[in-house]
A = this chain, B = another copy of it.
Amino acid sequence: MADRAPFPLNAWYAAAWDVDIGRALFPRTICGKHVVMYRRGDGQVAALEDACWHRLLPLSKGRIEGDEVVCGYHGLVFDAGGRCTFMPSQETINPSACVRAYPVVERHRFVWLWMGDPAQADPALVPDLHWNHDPAWASDGRTIHVKCDYRLVVDNLMDLTHETFVHGSSIGNRAVAEAPFDVTHGKRTATVTRWMRDIEAPPFWAGQLGKPGKVDRWQIIRFEAPCTIAIDVGVAPTGSGAPDGDRSQGVNGMVLNTVTPETDGTCHYFWAFARNYRLAEQRLTTELREGVARIFGEDEAILEAQQIAMDENPGRIFYNLNIDAGSMWARHLIDKMIDAEPSARQLQAAE
């Protein structure tokens, strides 16, 4: 099925951090669709197709007037539902005059858009990233624009052996590449669990733990199709019981990731790092955000180089190693979602 679409449309995709959207028109391309977002007077986020019905000028070049958007060329006005409410120099409005409005949910500090059939836009399907605003956790993060297929970021996160080679100075060590791991999966999820027992903590975690001695380290990577990955990470002193469920002597973080396709070959990568210790230390929050940003910058360079190489070798068949087991499951679940929605793709083609 060579012409399989690169992403499902019937899914919630993070489109922005909550604070990104205010009383200004905010354009962003999501799944190949130009969207303009803004907050209405009541604080709700509206998301419209970013192209005037009349001559396609991006509505984001216009301005907000109350809860509506005024096109910056000929002044056509569209309400938050996408319906045209004013045309210049004429009293009757063509009843077909509207732009597409996308279902919106604001949750876990992100603004999520449903890009497919609005009738299926069930808010219960928003991926779980609750740590990002749970008072038991302190979290902060950023948005990276990466010039690669969003699935390369998923691959990257589903196999952390790359930490050894890409992030050797911070979180990588030989143990990550050598420790065995388990992969399990559900209907929409796949989980990779790796315990590295009785090892030297890598520099980053040694600093967080603040105690001498060997540690047990864990990485529990949970993928939720099509593109959200929450990674439960941490270390605890060897012998303190972490592998058996008692993490009380250790330190625990959640690396939160959701990767939204922009186009076939680019994506918006939203990430945050949450911790459940030293919650009130703003300085630590900043240090962690900046530190993770540096690490993810190393991934970005690798991912963009990989995309360029793949673009140059379009027919290439890839060989999978043991370490690819997690990403193979993730891609299988993505493909299942895509294959389940032929009608959505046909609708898109017919637009």
Q: Which residues of A contact B (CB under 8 A)?
A: 34, 51, 53-58, 61-62, 70-75, 87-90, 94, 96-97, 155, 159, 161-162, 164-166, 177-181, 301-302, 305-306, 309-310, 313, 316, 318-319, 321-323
Given the known interface contacts A177-B89, A309-B51, the answer about A162 and B74 at a Cβ–Cβ threshold of 8 Å is yes
Given the complex of chains A and B, what is the CA–CA distance between A72 and B316 in angstroms? Answer: 20
What are 18 A-to-B residue pairs whose CB atoms are below 8 Å? A51-B309, A53-B319, A55-B306, A56-B316, A57-B302, A57-B305, A58-B305, A61-B301, A62-B165, A70-B165, A74-B159, A74-B323, A75-B161, A87-B322, A88-B164, A88-B177, A88-B323, A89-B179
Given the complex of chains A and B, what is the CA–CA distance between A322 and B73 in angstroms? Answer: 15
Q: Which residues of B contact A34 (CB under 8 A)?
A: 309
Tell whether, in the assembled complex, residue B309 and residue A97 are in contact, meaning their CB atoms are under 8 Å apart. Answer: no
Tell whether, in the assembled complex, residue A321 and residue B89 are in contact, meaning their CB atoms are under 8 Å apart. Answer: yes
* Residue among A34, A55, A58, A309 having the largest count of chain B Cβ atoms under 10 Å: A55
For the complex formed by this chain, how many copies does it contain in all?
Answer: 3
Given the known interface contacts A97-B319, A165-B74, the answer about A309 and B89 at a Cβ–Cβ threshold of 8 Å is no
Tell whether, in the assembled complex, residue A165 and residue B53 are in contact, meaning their CB atoms are under 8 Å apart. Answer: no
- In angstroms, how far is the closest chain B Cβ from the Cβ of A60? 9
Tell whether, in the assembled complex, residue B305 and residue A75 are in contact, meaning their CB atoms are under 8 Å apart. Answer: no
- In angstroms, how far is the closest chain B Cβ from the Cβ of A12? 25
Given the complex of chains A and B, what is the CA–CA distance between A55 and B321 in angstroms? Answer: 10
Closest to A97 in B: B319
Closest to A159 in B: B74
Given the known interface contacts A57-B305, A309-B56, the answer about A322 and B177 at a Cβ–Cβ threshold of 8 Å is no
